[in-house]
A and B are shown apart, each in its own frame.
Chain A
């Protein structure tokens, strides 16, 4: 079965087994390995990507579900790490091992899309599905605040 969707702004056509998780299609078929595998069950957020602008867990989303829609991965978030969150992530020196961070940033990007000036509680509630085993949570909050300030000024 062939599936067409938009991926990071480009038309993509594939012929996968339709029940294959989007995660493996992105990572192993299309070699977009920025989206990570952490739990495979929607429990950790490492695989977060945007589907028509909303954050979804690619590990539990069959690729058939994205037909005709638009998918954005960390690779498509910006050119040259220029998204306010990516700049803020560097400024606050958020990542440690870094493995969870694509998912964290994609989740946070969706938050800022819907709420330009989230409070601490709103950040915590929105980010609670994304595990960071290295415990960078306080810096994640700081970085989202930095980025939100930039978005609001700009």
Chain B
């Protein structure tokens, strides 16, 4: 299983560049799945034979003689705070003095740093779906405990006393009987390799009541450098001798450049090279500012006939309805239990409702960019990029160059937002293609317009929900059909594991439009939970039952979920009269193993159709929460991101072309539209941690729609609820 491999007074060349300052010290290389042995030093370079079969180092920890503990962080930091959380886990069981802990990015080698338990796909480094802390929770604490064992063992040998007489306090080993104390730094200066390090079973780890760091307030380590401009994003990387690049990409996905005015562009100031790509034309030059006029002047004749040319997102909605009504068989079934059709047939009362949602765009604050330097031989490369999928990026670039992934080196950078967009490697591969053409470092910068128009969006869809109730008003049948493109992106959140409904049929009726789609924060949960929670509310209203009580009835079998819902309702004082002109709406959702609920307080300006969300009371059960303040920040973040998509975000296509191009025609939430208050309550739990970064998002759509219904009697069924849509609904 897990064993730290220890080296005294020796620095691994893997991180020599970063660690060069220290000489003495103790380095722990924490492996999951086997001891790392022998010549492991060059694990990220060219060497073979550096890995024991099945070995998988998660993280590096080094203690120097000053007692400074350096943790190399293996996961992408895009704002979710996991860089800090992972170090907290190790430090907790090590009993480290947190003020002496530093965290750095780890070099990327998935065989060395990958996370255990990633769906059997072998070694893989990827930061998606809020799994980071939950994936590392147990192994990193066990490793921390083993590191502590090594420190204790060394002291016990030095002082010639039994290990059992020693204890630790943060950063110190203590022998009470002789009143002696020694710091971890001092130990590191004489520590020797320990051959036999025992396994430390989970039951010997600290109990939640003993935690000093987990669940306490620990400031995030990445924050200081984010207030003075020194945090390094790939956008900030400048490599000697590099060229800048921009790409004019096909406006319709799938079409290719046939010809372009190469001569004219090459004659422009500062332009060094033009490269034809499959999906566009790259322009390279010494100065970024020279590229923009050239790009404006570039005239490309595009091929025709890509399937996406036929796609018009406004017109397609009628088609979606027809598909939903056609009784089309052969959909992809997500859940089938009992006999939903028969139960609906025989139900005492039935309800049916359609919900729409448009495409949405990630709008991560840092436009996509990457620096790639392909070597002169063309068989290796260095990459500087912020990516959610470093190993995917390495593989893709290796494939492009027809070389081994070992010849690709990735320097991780902070991500100026990910939200799923940076789990694709397209922008890195582009930079690699351009660098391959010139054999020089290339810094490819996407303009915001590029980022929009060659975006990869959360797909639009239609959801038809049908429900049947028995004579007692109990929900007995549930049919949910989702029509649209992007199968797995649509299915996320469609299941209802916390609702007790005996007959269910949940399916995707898939179509294909040929446009670019991708995971977006919380994937499909944003729209599926909106539809589910709106529908539940609609049924409750029609049945004359309070929505909260109706929810509780459907959730009666799930105490954990009930607790979450009840907590949010209590926080808001559900049942009280809202302020004049305001109303409350309630909603529940699960995401990445965590549960959340919220109550939204909204008002509506009838003349303009503008919805204002004033307050949110939310609750979260994410098991043990490693960093509570950060969990609150993530809830605030996901709620605002969710509300933004619910109230105003909308990408449309005409003849396959994206119609929006920058923040003037695509509205992300600004400070004036943010709720005045967001209250978050984290529910105490001893369950192992689950994801946090996305869980606040799926609850927003239903809560706002339900509040608007309570306020005005209007059911909003088309995301986003732009003022125009709201006015239309009010008028009809």
Contact = CB atoms under 8 A, between A and B. Distances in A.
Interface stretch (B191-199, B217-225, B305-313, B543-551): B217-225
Contacts of A138: 636, 674-675, 677-678
Interface string B663-674: 110001111101
Contacts of A137: 640, 669-671, 674
Interface size class on chain B is 35 or more
A86 B447 contact: no
B714 to A, nearest CB: 27
Interface in B671-690: 671-672, 674-675, 677-678
B231 interface: yes
B712 interface: no
A97 B417 contact: yes
Q: Which residue, of B225, B227, B366, has the highest number of chain A Cβ atoms within 10 A?
A: B227
A73 interface: yes
B629 interface: yes
Interface string A58-87: 000000000000000111011001000010
Interface stretch (B55-63, B85-93, B120-128, B232-240): B232-240
Nearest to B269: A17
A43 B640 contact: no
A38 B367 contact: yes
By size class, the interface of chain A is 35 or more
B226 interface: yes
B639 interface: yes
Contacts of A148: none
A40 B365 CA distance: 12
Given A37-B367, A133-B365, A136-B633, A93 B223 contact: yes
Given A38-B448, A46-B365, A99-B417, A33 B236 contact: yes
Contacts of A124: 671-672
A90 B668 CA distance: 25
A111 interface: no
B229 A97 contact: no
B599 interface: no
B314 to A, nearest CB: 25
A89 B231 CA distance: 15
Interface in A108-144: 124-125, 127-141
Contact of A131 (B224, B229, B629, B663): B663
Q: Is the interface of A mostly helix, strand, loop or mixed?
A: loop
Nearest to B445: A37
A124 B671 CA distance: 6
Nearest to B661: A41
Contact of B79 (A16, A89, A96): A96
A93 B418 CA distance: 19
B415 interface: yes
Contacts of B447: 40
B423 to A, nearest CB: 15
Nearest to B290: A17
A35 B79 contact: no
Contacts of B99: none
A34 B365 contact: no
Contacts of B364: 97, 133
Contact of A101 (B227, B235, B288, B367): B227
A124 B641 CA distance: 18
Interface string B358-394: 0000011111000000000000000000000000000
A36 interface: yes
A100 B669 CA distance: 14
B227 A90 contact: yes
Contacts of B629: 93
A98 interface: yes
Interface string B647-664: 000000000000000111
B229 to A, nearest CB: 2
B288 A28 contact: yes
Contacts of A141: 671
B44 interface: no
B633 A39 contact: no
Given A134-B79, A135-B641, A99 B633 contact: no
B731 interface: no
A39 to B, nearest CB: 4
Given A97-B78, A97-B416, A128-B671, A133 B363 contact: yes
B630 interface: yes
Which of B238, B365, B417, B630 has most A Cβ within 10 Å? Answer: B365
Question: Helix, strand, loop or mixed for chain B's interface?
Answer: loop
B204 interface: no
B637 A96 contact: yes
Contacts of B416: 36, 97-99
Contacts of B639: 135
B68 interface: no
Given A90-B224, A98-B222, A133 B668 contact: yes
A21 interface: yes
A134 B671 contact: no
B229 A73 contact: yes
Interface in B220-279: 220, 222-233, 235-236, 238, 244
Contact of B663 (A21, A33, A39, A89): A39
Interface in B631-645: 633, 636-641, 644
A96 B633 contact: yes
Contacts of B445: 37
Contacts of B219: 90, 93
A56 interface: no
B210 interface: no
B229 A74 contact: yes
B105 to A, nearest CB: 14
A135 B640 CA distance: 5
B637 A136 contact: yes
A131 B223 contact: no
A81 B639 CA distance: 30
A96 B630 CA distance: 9
Nearest to B664: A43
A59 to B, nearest CB: 10
B227 A131 contact: no
A124 B612 CA distance: 15
B427 interface: no
Given A28-B288, A135-B637, A97 B415 contact: yes
B227 A86 contact: yes
Nearest to A33: B236
A102 B671 contact: no
A50 B81 CA distance: 30
A95 B227 contact: yes
Nearest to B639: A135
A7 interface: no
B633 A74 contact: no
Nearest to B637: A135
A41 B664 contact: yes
B722 interface: no
A133 B630 CA distance: 17
B53 interface: no
Interface of B: 78-81, 219-220, 222-233, 235-236, 238, 244, 287-290, 363-367, 414-419, 445, 447-449, 629-630, 633, 636-641, 644, 662-664, 668-672, 674-675, 677-678
19 contacts: A28-B244, A33-B238, A35-B229, A38-B366, A81-B227, A89-B223, A89-B227, A95-B226, A97-B364, A97-B415, A101-B226, A130-B671, A131-B668, A133-B365, A133-B419, A133-B668, A134-B417, A135-B636, A140-B671
Given A38-B448, A41-B662, A136-B637, 13 more contacts: A28-B238, A40-B447, A44-B448, A97-B78, A97-B364, A97-B365, A97-B416, A128-B672, A132-B365, A133-B668, A134-B79, A134-B641, A136-B633
Q: Ordered nearest first, which 5 A-B pairs have the shortest CB separation?
A: A34-B229, A135-B640, A99-B416, A98-B226, A96-B79
Interface of A: 16-17, 20-21, 24, 27-28, 31-41, 43-44, 46, 73-75, 77-78, 81, 86, 89-90, 93-102, 105, 124-125, 127-141
